[in-house]
Amino acid sequence: QVQLVESGGGLVQTGGSLRLSCAASGRTVSDYAVGWFRQAPGKERAFVGSLIQTGGKTAYADSVKGRFTISRDNAKNTVLLQMNSLKAEDTAVYYCAVKGGLVTRSLSGYDYWGQGTQVTVSS
């Protein structure tokens, strides 16, 4: 069993940056593939990016590619989502999730989810 807690959300102006953290407990997060997802008001939860268990390979949705970066701090058992050049359309609740096995962009593939953290980008 893995417990995930996101933090770091808040209100930021267009063009600003935020760094979200996903702290894991119960198991080592590097044993899992990690996904970041977001859900904007009135919309379905959508893939943002992912990180595989070993090697640090990442993948991103086209909408955030070049602006968002996922990394892992093994010492803190935490996964980070660095978000730069934020846009109003990035406003959403952001969730981290983990799964065993191969990484996927599909929500249904993930076993454990955090509670989410709100990101609001004002124009």
What pLDDT, on the 0 to 100 scale, is given for residue 31? 93
For 93-109, how does the pLDDT look when each residue is reduced to its tens digit (9 = 90+)?
999 999 998 888 999 98
For 15-73, how does the pLDDT look when each residue is reduced to its tens digit (9 = 90+)?
999 999 999 999 999 999 999 999 999 999 999 999 998 878 999 999 999 999 999 99
For 58-97, how does the pLDDT look when each residue is reduced to its tens digit (9 = 90+)?
999 999 999 999 999 999 999 999 999 999 999 999 999 9
pLDDT at 2 over 90: yes
Torsions phi, psi of 15, nearest 5? 90, -10
Secondary structure (H, E, C), the chain: CCEEEEECCEEEECCCCEEEEEEEECCCHHHCEEEEEEECCCCCCEEEEEECCCCCCEEECCCCCCCEEEEEEHHHCEEEEEECCCCHHHCEEEEEEEECCCCCCCHHHCCEECCCEEEEEEC
What pLDDT, on the 0 to 100 scale, is given for residue 36? 98
What pLDDT, on the 0 to 100 scale, is given for residue 123? 86
Q: Which distant-in-sequence residues (6+ apart) come within 8 Å of 5 by Cβ? A: 22, 23, 25, 114, 115
- Which one, of 1, 9, 7, lies nearest residue 26 by Cα? 1
Is residue 50 classed exposed, middle or buried when 0-12, 13-18 and 19+ CB atoms within 10 A define those classes? buried
* Residue 98 or 123, more confident: 98
